[in-house]
Chain A
């Protein structure tokens, strides 16, 4: 905290020395007191929220700037938490997850001098930076890998809450699978329709087992904490899982084919770092081209990825970047073509 205030004081002095800054700039410089409101999965979900946490921790380590965070237990707490951070003068305040959209819309409008950011949703206010990802592109890549790793020609997908965003993951994945094997079968399951679906590993495990029973041998999850049960069930059955958001390859080394990386850590770090810049707001869409999504390649899954797979996924990456392959975005028209 002391270091944090020292930095802030230092900035104030330099801002005063310049003595030319607009009020907005001074306000921004004065107020690097970042705060985060996580989504229901909690900051140690080994997945989406944990990615944000890692980004924030990295920033803290490098700059010494402390940040505050809050893990809501219920939907109603989101707005309270955002408002409390705003009242305390925190800026930027990062709202993690699409479900904070309505709460953030309200609070951000009440505190126009503070800076906010939202991950996974779009709030069109001048003081809010909206960050979304092209999850369909990353999912396409792991779909390619899944189809090539599958021996049965059947692969699975387990989603968390049944919402368009998760359908977007599923749709990109199916497209990737079908691009490799036209006749491959993809089983899709959603865990539930409420926030509890992000945190139910028992149900996730059962869903994965039901897909394995039907012949699936590679299962991709986009289900936060629920996915821990999915990866566990796949590993127990001697099949392969695919992680999501953070790199989950190390959870069951040799049993996790890869992870679809969604670089929320980078997005968080960048948001903290740019909080003093003049420009804020706007809508950032991070895809393959921007290194916002990708697939995890590390020592844990090295034996699972053959050279053929590496080549195929490299080609798919290049094709998507160049525009030769267009991965359909489910959220564009609420429909999946495959």
Chain B
């Protein structure tokens, strides 16, 4: 494999890892505050649909991005309302978000455009083109989100409180800080990042929305989150690794490696999941989630 081929694989890996990265960071914010979010997939899907529909209607990719973020935010607030204010089961609420998103986008898409849930293909200025080194602006935004997440979470008062809410909400409450306000803030930040992820999928990486186009990326992002042990920089590493594996799997198809023979693509595609299982089993260090994750906070009366 020569240098250009290597470079194109690395490049392709980056493209494929961006939606994962945004969703993974969204999950990180939410879970660090103690709200488990398996609705990443659904929020990405809603964002992808809103972004494509708005970009098509308004003729501007930026308006598409704004609409995508807005759509994702609404669903994030829905999840927040159910799991923070109503103290519902966070897993159930997340599943509901996923199902609602999958159904709603297809139905509305079909009603508006009559193409089986698809939006019309979007062209030119409706789409983020290649801006920086063959990548779109959204790639830069996503990559910038990593150091920002790290900094805010680890070096600011807000971040400290947020992490504390995820570990021991009662202590934070005792200090006179609102647990639900912090959790809502985290869930909304997650919504914005999922919006970025979905918009990237529909108006940058491809050109238009398709029902179910996230194809499980939200769940791979969750796997990456566990793999990265809920930390920002490792999340970048995990997502890039998963993206790279995907890119390699694409290029390995039908290639005969000396000594090994033809590599079954399924084996490479299963690697992210296999690695997550290994991490969960405690082979490569232990992955310990935030202590209060998944537990609704009930103020003592």
Contacts and interface: CB of A to CB of B under 8 A. Distances in A.
A206 B15 contact: yes
B291 to A, nearest CB: 37
A328 B5 CA distance: 34
Interface stretch (A54-62, A90-98, A207-215, A301-309): A207-215
B213 interface: yes
B23 interface: no
A213 B9 CA distance: 9
Interface stretch (B113-121, B150-158, B230-238): B113-121
Interface stretch (B24-32, B175-183, B201-209): B201-209
Nearest to B216: A196
Interface stretch (B58-66, B248-256, B293-301): B248-256
Contacts of A45: 116
Interface in B80-112: none
B247 interface: yes
B301 to A, nearest CB: 47
Nearest to A226: B210
B266 A193 contact: yes
Contact of A206 (B211, B213, B247): B247
Nearest to A229: B206
Contacts of B250: 189, 203, 206-207, 210
A44 B247 CA distance: 29
A202 B206 CA distance: 6
B16 A44 contact: no
Interface string A185-200: 0001110010010011
A9 B4 CA distance: 70
A42 B116 contact: yes
A213 B2 CA distance: 12
Contacts, number: 61
Contacts of A214: 5
Contacts of B208: 201, 228
A263 interface: no
A225 B15 contact: no
Nearest to B4: A213
Q: Which of B201, B213, B250 has the largest number of chain A CB atoms within 10 A?
A: B250
A55 to B, nearest CB: 17
Given A206-B250, A209-B12, A210-B12, A201 B213 contact: yes
B289 interface: no
A230 B160 CA distance: 46
B137 to A, nearest CB: 16
A210 B251 contact: yes
A205 B206 contact: yes
Interface in B244-299: 246-247, 250-251, 253-254, 266
A71 interface: yes
A196 B211 CA distance: 11
A45 B210 CA distance: 10
A115 interface: no
Given A189-B250, A190-B253, A213-B8, A205 B116 contact: no
A232 B212 contact: no
A44 B118 contact: yes
B213 A202 contact: yes
A200 B215 contact: yes
Interface in A212-269: 213-214, 225, 228-229, 232, 251
Nearest to A42: B116
Nearest to A206: B250
A209 B115 CA distance: 26
A249 to B, nearest CB: 15
A210 B8 contact: yes
B270 to A, nearest CB: 12
A196 B215 contact: yes
A210 B254 CA distance: 13
A152 to B, nearest CB: 15
A225 B207 CA distance: 13
A43 interface: yes
Most buried by B among A42, A188, A190, A205: A42
15 contacts: A44-B114, A71-B116, A188-B253, A189-B253, A189-B254, A193-B266, A202-B205, A203-B250, A206-B250, A209-B12, A210-B251, A213-B5, A213-B8, A214-B5, A228-B208
Given A205-B206, A232-B207, 18 more contacts: A42-B116, A42-B117, A44-B114, A71-B116, A188-B254, A189-B250, A190-B253, A193-B266, A199-B211, A200-B213, A205-B205, A206-B15, A206-B250, A210-B250, A213-B4, A213-B5, A213-B8, A214-B5
Interface of B: 4-5, 8, 12, 15-16, 114-118, 121, 201, 205-208, 210-213, 215, 246-247, 250-251, 253-254, 266
Interface of A: 42-45, 71, 188-190, 193, 196, 199-203, 205-207, 209-210, 213-214, 225, 228-229, 232, 251
